[in-house]
Amino acid sequence: MSGAAIQVRGLCKRYGQRAVIDRLDLEFAAGAFTVVLGASGCGKSTLLRVIAGLEEAEHGTVSIGGADVTRMAPQDRGCAMVFQNYALYPHMSVRDNIGYALKLAGLERAERERRIGEAAQLLGLRDLLERKPAQLSGGQRQRVAIGRAIARRQRVLLFDEPLSNLDAKLRHDMRVELRRLHDEIGATTIFVTHDQVEAMTLADRVVLLNQGRVEQADTPMALYHQPRTAYVAGFIGTPPMNMLDAWHEGDHAVIEHGGRLRMRQHAGQAMPVVLGIRPEAIVLDVPGGIAATLEAVEDLGSHRVVYARIGGQRVLAIDSSRRPYRPGEMLCLGFPPAAIRRFDPATGERLPGDGAETAA
């Protein structure tokens, strides 16, 4: 199965006076696994439904495989969709659930059985084909829903938060299965989720939406290490990037109610700035570092999350040592130059000239 490229141009979708999708332009490469990520209400599921033909946009076009499908019926677009709630027929067996759409399409029984068997083999469902959905676990039911989609052999697979009803271990297992499945069948896959872990582990490319607009579309590592905006920096990462209000003065940045950092990039005139740094990049106990007061420590086994304050601003750091901590003790935090990201506090856009060092 070969995937089809998808182009979305000037897409607008409103509910009443609220623009859920606002002049959206996107391309989904043929055969790629793209994750559309965002908070609840950002328009990600609406985008998926517009591509599938389940919703009609007020403006804009959708093209699949070079053909304009904007006015086409859902069944004519070459898409298969997997929903959050599985949408299985409770009175049908696993075999019949997977093959029902094939039967409606008029495929011969032998061909239906062959496709059902192939889907069941891919998803580990061969021993469950005669069971009803009520006899299956949540993970098994989700596999059946995926099997029903891939048995149709469409060029585009659309997933609308398919793992959100599963527990943590099943979500992990299904992430591994979905990535393997995609690599085997080669369909163009669009996967909608609010879970950044799913986005980081599954995607070739992540599209991060914010109120119906694209904040950044790039590889998972680019979003993590080179966020284009403060919104991206704060959304991606667990814990998220620290964002510190500061003031640029010449070649220094003064953290509000805190210390001074010597910046690699000369700021020119004095200006406010937001400094971003990932928790794992902060170095603890650096002589001459930025003074911070320890608030609390979360021990997660493999590492600890250290909560501290620089003046009135909270900072999180990752600590893999086993040294003891006392609430209220003073820490000296080091900010490696390459780890600093600068953002405009007015627009949220990232500023050129990253990098800082602790001032002498």
Residue 329 one-letter amino acid:
E
For residue 46, CA distances in Å to 27, 85, 240, 271, 360 come to 16, 16, 26, 40, 52
- Decide: pTM greater than 0.75: yes
pLDDT in tens, 141-179: 988 999 999 999 999 999 999 888 888 888 888 899 889
pLDDT at 98: 96
Give dist(CA 164, CA 171) in Å, integer. 8
Assess whether pLDDT exceeds 60 at residue 267: no
Residue 81 banded pLDDT, cuts 50, 70, 90: very high
**Residue 204 CA to its chain's centroid (Å):** 11
pLDDT in tens, 30-51: 999 999 999 999 999 999 999 9
Q: What is the mean pLDDT of residues 247-253?
A: 78
pLDDT at 59: 94
Assess whether pLDDT exceeds 90 at residue 352: no
Question: Are 205 and 233 within 8 A, CB to CB?
Answer: no
Q: SS3 of 346, please?
A: coil
**Structural domains of the chain sorted by starting position, each given as residue range(s) with its CATH number in brackets:** 6-234 (3.40.50.300), 239-358 (2.40.50.140)
CA atoms within 13 A on the CB side of 152: 24
Assess whether pLDDT exceeds 80 at residue 257: no
pLDDT in tens, 83-96: 888 889 999 999 99
Residue of 267, 212, 208, 209 lying closest to 21 (CA atoms): 212
What does pLDDT average to over the chain? Answer: 91
Assess whether pLDDT exceeds 50 at residue 359: no
Give dist(CA 50, CA 60) in Å, integer. 10
Q: What is the DSSP letter of 349?
A: B
pLDDT at 356: 45
Q: What are phi and psi of 352, to 5 degrees?
A: -70, 160
For residue 191, CA distances in Å to 204, 241, 256 come to 11, 25, 40
**Residue 198 CA to its chain's centroid (Å):** 6
Give dist(CA 158, CA 131) in Å, integer. 26
For residue 58, CA distances in Å to 7, 21, 61, 70, 234 come to 17, 10, 10, 11, 32
Assess whether pLDDT exceeds 70 at residue 125: yes
250 versus 133: the higher-pLDDT residue is 133
pLDDT at 253: 81
As given in the structure block, the two tokens for residue 218 are: 């790039």
